[in-house]
């Protein structure tokens, strides 16, 4: 499948990733796999992508409905498979939060975290991102 989505990241995401790379060396490769197997399938791929994603053991993408706007979908990738966490498969505990801009088919990575160190996404960061986009 040809990539139709462009990708970027916030400075905060890059900082999160840099910290996590110290523990999980494969994250950059894992994220590249997740772009194709989770993000692109969810937004431009098969309508019922969840079954395909679970078979590929890469991740599953979910909307965070109370943070979505008409033009921007805030999404979370769960069941993210991290090669550095051998033996845990898709139960790695890595979460990725991103904004999908529907009019430009752009995904902007906002946050990445390890569930063992942080319980849930930083809603304040997401709201700040949305406020900055609106201004």
Domain ranges for the chain, please list them.
6-134
More confident residue, 125 or 69: 125
DSSP letter (8 states) at residue 133: H
Mean pLDDT check: name the lowest of 2-6, 30-34, 62-66: 2-6
Which pTM does this prediction carry?
A: 0.83
Structure tokens belonging to residue 20:
């996590």
- Please report, for residues 56, 89, 91, 92, the alpha-carbon distance to residue 86 in angstroms, rounded to integers and kept in the order given: 16, 7, 10, 9
Tens digit of pLDDT for each residue in 117-134? 888 899 999 999 999 987
Give the CATH fold of the 6-134 domain.
Answer: YaeB-like fold (3.30.2310)
């Amino acid at each position: 499948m040809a990539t139709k989505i462009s990708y970027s990241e916030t400075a905060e995401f890059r900082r999160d990733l840099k910290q996590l790379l110290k523990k999980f060396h494969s994250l950059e490769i894992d994220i590249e796999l997740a772009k194709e197997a989770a993000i692109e399938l969810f937004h431009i791929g098969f309508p019922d992508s969840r079954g395909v994603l679970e078979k590929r053991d890469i991740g599953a993408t979910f909307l965070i409905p109370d943070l979505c706007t008409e033009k921007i979908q805030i999404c979370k990738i769960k069941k993210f498979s991290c090669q550095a966490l051998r033996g845990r498969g898709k139960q790695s505990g890595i979460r990725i939060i991103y904004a999908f801009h529907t009019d430009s088919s752009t995904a902007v990575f906002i946050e990445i975290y390890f569930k063992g160190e942080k319980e849930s996404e930083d809603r304040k960061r997401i709201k700040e991102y949305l406020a900055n986009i609106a201004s």
